[in-house]
Chains A and B, each alone.
Chain A
Amino acid sequence: EAQVTQNPRYLITVTGKKLTVTCSQNMNHEYMSWYRQDPGLGLRQIYYSMNVEVTDKGDVPEGYKVSRKEKRNFPLILESPSPNQTSLYFCASSSGQGYNQPQHFGDGTRLSIL
């Protein structure tokens, strides 16, 4: 089944403790992206990647890191999490084949930083 898989789905942690949220897709998609969703603010893009070893900042990259060493994986790293990074996070992927293809989203990761 074609899917985008995020882990963990839920995490409660403390300020300053490094964490990684993994994202994997099995559709051979070139494009991957991370979003956070907060009440009243909608979906905001954190980082995106056009292909392996190619990443760029989205609208709210501060406090986050990403890497794209393999096509299927795009982990989101919080080196020193803070309470304002408490949010619902989504990973998405899209194929670059054809002029316009939809983005496929994972089921989300709910992070609580205390």
Chain B
Amino acid sequence: GAVVSQHPSRVICKSGTSVKIECRSLDFQATTMFWYRQFPKQSLMLMATSNEGSKATYEQGVEKDKFLINHASLTLSTLTVTSAHPEDSSFYICSARGDRGYSSGYTFGSGTRLTVV
């Protein structure tokens, strides 16, 4: 089945530094990937839609200069949190549509817990 690998699963960084999160589709080509943010005990909020070879489309209220998304290949999308601050601490999840059509739904990475200290 479709597998999406997200790395790292946990990261702690100092305020002001940048952190890169990788999202890879292991056995299928993901022309579109999605990045979400989830606050504790809350739902997933779509941050941006990433299409291979083009600029990401950001949702309203999401700073594109702060959350840099790169989708340079059909199997890899990256999210870089630049100049991280404690309020950026959150759970970040990526997803891509499975390759079995709609019946397979979307495949999610296992998430990255970012803590900015």
State yes or no: do A and B come from one complex.
no
